[in-house]
């Protein structure tokens, strides 16, 4: 539930002062040394591990997450991202030599990674800890100063992050601004060197427009409907278990949750009882009593989701309890692309089953719609797998497994087209939050410009042809 009153928003003039202070810290050079970056990452790691239960309580209060789910899908992932970064950071940051063509010799060429400056991280409510801290890990590893704006829609997580980050990280260079639209609007009026935004595409546009005024580069981690194709002949019991896990974790409020299932009528009919069984196996006969089943973040979203459920289509679930923000794990069948549930990203525990005639139509359907953040294919056919990877475009493809690609730190995580721009995690984060600076070094003698410097004599012209772009005129 949104409880803005529990927040202590930073007022607009303060926002300008905060950004100025953080910029001074960056300009002082304190964030550049490897030792500072390492110290911040270690401090962040201890913060998460030492305060795991405090963080879990906040997530319980905002989203009804169990402590195990909080560790599995938020805090544990942050710790593993930090460990992976600490293990590899020196290597990722090392200047990289690149070959120099003959025309520029004698010389040495290097790519040197430098921090961008002051980064703004704007986070959403659905994984409020993971999606605030994972970009922060990358921004700190790359040597930036950072202003962090957690989501007001998850107020307990926002408060705990503000308190802990303020206490454990370098207060000059890292600052949390809590608050909602006014505070974010005030922040967006300031100049940053990079803005990292996770959330819906409507606000993504606002962020991009605001950034354009300062020509600030932006990463947009957006959402969309992630399709899930279930092939004929696949093991439906295992498939159902995985879809149910991927869909109903965090009560479906996951940007990469399977949004809807595409399959032939024959396969849908065979899959339905397995889905019902997998829901019962995971959450019992009465999911409202399961400690492992989350809650909808607020009553506005609960109403929105309830409005998407056509009782005539319900296979299982459909019931809700507004007083506890509970919405049952729900499966709908006989859904068509014209139904409201297929218009926008569902972002809740409602799984529509949509009939297609086979692989060809499924690919056609995916390509007709916005490019998704994730696409899932359950198949035992290498040909079907290859076709989806080759013939569709999405942020990621999961073959026989939803969600888990985000836990592989060497894979880029991000969208394409309407699902976002830019990708992060691991080395991709360090690339994202730094500038790859080209450094070319030549000795002053011998004089490498003698051939190209006027006057261009006939002899020089012959040398230019032979040395500067050798073979270029060959057809
Ligand atoms: P949200 O409501 O928490 O908004 C995100 C952030 O934008 C918040 O910090 C909020 O304060 C700020 N904001 C809201 N309105 C604003 C405005 N008018 N001006 C400036 N800032 C504003 O979260 P949400 O958007 O509901 O998040 C859900 C969406 O995010 C879904 O579409 C989901 O798919 C997507 N998402 C994507 C990823 C990803 O990694 N790609 C991860 C999680 C969620």
**Per-residue pLDDT tens digits for 92-111:** 999 999 999 988 889 999 99
Say whether pLDDT at 7 is over 60: no
pLDDT of residue 8: 53
Q: Is the CB of 124 under 6 A from ligand 1?
A: yes
Q: How far is the CA of 344 from the centre of ligand 1 (A)?
A: 15
Comparing 241 with 447, the larger pLDDT belongs to 241
pLDDT of residue 378: 98
**Per-residue pLDDT tens digits for 297-326:** 999 999 999 999 999 999 999 999 999 999
Q: What is the mean pLDDT of the chain?
A: 95
Write out the H or E segment, with its range, that includes residue 164. Answer: helix 155-168
- The answer to whether 272 touches 241, Cβ cutoff 8 Å, is no
Ligand 1, closest atom to CA 188?
20
Span between the terminal Cα atoms of the chain, in Å: 68
Say whether pLDDT at 286 is over 50: yes
278: left (phi over 0), alpha (psi -120 to 50) or beta: alpha
Q: Is the CB of 125 under 6 A from ligand 1?
A: yes
pLDDT of residue 464: 87
Backbone angles phi, psi at 263, to 5 degrees: -165, 170
Q: What is d(CA 148, CA 325) in angstroms, rounded to the nearest whole number?
A: 28
Closest CA to ligand 1's atom 24: 199
pLDDT of residue 471: 78
Average pLDDT estimate for 116-136 = 98
Report the candidate in 325, 441, 358, 327 with the shortest Cα–Cα distance to residue 2. 325
Q: How confident is the model at residue 5 (pLDDT cuts 50, 70, 90)?
A: very low
Q: How confident is the model at residue 466 (pLDDT cuts 50, 70, 90)?
A: confident
Q: What is d(CA 165, CA 43) in angstroms, rounded to the nearest whole number?
A: 9
**DSSP state letters, 93-158:** HS-EEE---GGG-S-EEEEEEEE-SEEEEE--SSSTTHHHHHHHHHHHHTT-EEEEE--TTSHHHH
Domains contained in the chain, CATH given: 3-222+424-435 (3.40.605.10), 227-409 (3.40.309.10)
Report the candidate in 371, 367, 363 with the shortest Cα–Cα distance to residue 421. 371
Report the candidate in 345, 247, 261, 255 with the shortest Cα–Cα distance to residue 293. 247
Q: Is the CB of 40 under 6 A from ligand 1?
A: no
**Per-residue pLDDT tens digits for 54-90:** 999 999 999 999 999 999 999 999 999 999 999 999 9
Query: Residue 39: helix, strand or coil by DSSP?
Result: helix
| Lookup: tokens for 462 | 């012959």
Going by DSSP bridges, is the β-strand pair 374-378/226-230 parallel, antiparallel, or unpaired? parallel
- Eight-state DSSP code of residue 71: I
CA of residue 213 relative to chain centroid, distance: 24
Backbone angles phi, psi at 8, to 5 degrees: -120, 80
Q: What is d(CA 294, CA 67) in angstroms, rounded to the nearest whole number?
A: 11
State what percent of residues in the chain have pLDDT above 70. 97
Task: Work out the number of other CB atoms within 10 angstroms of the CB of residue 272.
Answer: 18
For residue 397, list its beta bridge partners: 375
pLDDT of residue 13: 62
Q: What is d(CA 445, CA 384) in angstroms, rounded to the nearest whole number?
A: 60
Q: What is d(CA 191, CA 195) in angstroms, rounded to the nearest whole number?
A: 10
Write out the H or E segment, with its range, that includes residue 458. Answer: helix 458-463
Q: What is d(CA 383, CA 364) in angstroms, rounded to the nearest whole number?
A: 16
Q: What is d(CA 70, CA 127) in angstroms, rounded to the nearest whole number?
A: 9
- Eight-state DSSP code of residue 72: I
Q: Which residues are designated catalytic?
A: 221, 255
Q: Is the CB of 62 under 6 A from ligand 1?
A: no
Q: What is d(CA 185, CA 202) in angstroms, rounded to the nearest whole number?
A: 14
Say whether pLDDT at 156 is over 50: yes
Q: How far is the CA of 198 from the centre of ligand 1 (A)?
A: 5
Per-residue exposure over 108-128, b if at least 16 CB sit within 10 Å of its own CB, e if not: ebeeebebbbbbbbbbbbbbb
Comparing 468 with 331, the larger pLDDT belongs to 331
Say whether pLDDT at 240 is over 50: yes
pLDDT of residue 448: 83
pLDDT of residue 94: 98
State what percent of residues in the chain have pLDDT above 90. 92
Report the candidate in 170, 234, 227 with the shortest Cα–Cα distance to residue 342. 227
Write out the H or E segment, with its range, that includes residue 362. Answer: helix 359-368
Average pLDDT estimate for 434-447 = 96
pLDDT of residue 4: 37
Ligand 1, closest atom to CA 149?
9
Q: What is d(CA 296, CA 311) in angstroms, rounded to the nearest whole number?
A: 20
Query: CB-based burial of residue 52 (10 Å sphere; 0-12 exposed, 13-18 middle, 19+ buried)?
Result: middle
216: left (phi over 0), alpha (psi -120 to 50) or beta: beta
Q: How confident is the model at residue 11 (pLDDT cuts 50, 70, 90)?
A: low
Q: Is the CB of 221 under 6 A from ligand 1?
A: yes
pLDDT of residue 6: 39
Say whether pLDDT at 350 is over 90: yes
Q: How far is the CA of 200 from the centre of ligand 1 (A)?
A: 5
**DSSP state letters, 328-355:** --EEE-S--TTSGGGTS---SSEEEEEE
Q: Please state, in angstroms and as integers, the Cα–Cα distance from residue 470 to each residue in 237, 294, 442, following that order.
A: 62, 65, 21
Q: What is d(CA 442, CA 108) in angstroms, rounded to the nearest whole number?
A: 7
Q: How confident is the model at residue 468 (pLDDT cuts 50, 70, 90)?
A: confident
Average pLDDT estimate for 33-41 = 98
Say whether pLDDT at 2 is over 50: no
| Lookup: tokens for 431 | 């690339």
- Report pTM: 0.94
Q: What is d(CA 391, CA 365) in angstroms, rounded to the nearest whole number?
A: 12
Q: How far is the CA of 429 from the centre of ligand 1 (A)?
A: 20
Can you state the percent helix, strand and coil of the chain, rounding each to 5?
50, 15, 35
**Number of residues assigned to the chain:** 475
Ligand 1, residues 2, 200, 297: which to mutate, most atoms within 8 A of Cβ? 200
Tell me which of 63-67, 245-249, 267-271 is least confident: 63-67
């Amino acid at each position: 539930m949104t409880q803005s009153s529990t927040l202590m928003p930073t007022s607009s003039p303060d926002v300008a002062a905060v950004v100025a202070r953080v910029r001074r810290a960056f300009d002082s050079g304190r964030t550049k040394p490897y030792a500072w970056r390492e110290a911040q990452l270690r401090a962040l790691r201890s913060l998460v591990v030492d305060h795991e239960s405090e963080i879990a309580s906040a997530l319980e209060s905002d989203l009804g997450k169990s402590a195990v789910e909080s560790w599995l899908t938020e805090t544990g992932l942050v710790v593993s991202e930090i460990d992976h970064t600490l293990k590899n950071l020196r290597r990722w940051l090392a200047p990289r030599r690149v070959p120099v063509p003959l025309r520029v010799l004698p010389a040495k060429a290097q790519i040197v990674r430098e921090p961008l400056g002051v980064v703004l991280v704007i986070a959403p409510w659905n994984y409020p800890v993971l999606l605030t801290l994972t970009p922060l890990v990358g921004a700190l590893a790359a040597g930036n100063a950072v202003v962090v704006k957690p989501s007001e829609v998850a107020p307990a997580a926002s408060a705990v992050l503000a308190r802990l980050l303020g206490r454990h990280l370098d207060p000059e260079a890292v600052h949390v601004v809590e608050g909602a639209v006014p505070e974010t609007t005030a922040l967006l009026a300031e100049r940053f060197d990079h803005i990292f935004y996770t959330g819906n595409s409507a606000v993504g546009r606002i962020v991009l427009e605001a950034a354009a005024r300062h020509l600030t580069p932006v990463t947009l981690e957006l959402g969309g409907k992630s399709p899930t194709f279930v092939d004929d002949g696949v093991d439906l019991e295992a498939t159902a278990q995985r879809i149910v896990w991927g869909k109903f974790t965090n009560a479906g409020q996951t940007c990469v949750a399977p949004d809807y299932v595409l399959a032939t009528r024959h396969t849908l009919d065979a899959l339905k009882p397995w889905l019902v069984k997998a829901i019962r196996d995971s959450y019992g006969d009465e999911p409202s009593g399961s400690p492992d089943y989350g809650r909808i973040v607020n009553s506005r979203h609960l109403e929105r989701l309830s409005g998407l459920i056509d009782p005539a289509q319900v296979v299982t679930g459909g019931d809700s309890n507004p007083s506890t923000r509970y919405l049952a794990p729900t499966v709908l069948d006989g859904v068509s692309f014209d139904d409201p549930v297929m218009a926008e990203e569902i972002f809740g525990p409602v799984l529509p089953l949509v009939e297609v005639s086979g692989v060809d139509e499924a690919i056609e359907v995916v390509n007709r719609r916005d490019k998704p953040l994730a696409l899932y294919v359950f198949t035992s056919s290498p040909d079907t797998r290859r076709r989806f990877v080759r013939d569709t475009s999405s942020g990621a493809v999961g073959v026989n497994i939803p969600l888990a690609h985000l836990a592989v730190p060497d894979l880029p995580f991000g969208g394409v087209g309407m699902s976002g721009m830019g990708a992060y995690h691991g080395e991709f984060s360090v690339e994202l939050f730094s500038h790859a600076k080209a450094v070319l070094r030549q000795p002053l003698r011998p004089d490498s410009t003698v051939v190209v410097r006027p006057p261009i004599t006939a002899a020089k012209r012959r040398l230019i042809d032979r040395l500067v772009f050798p073979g270029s005129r060959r057809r």
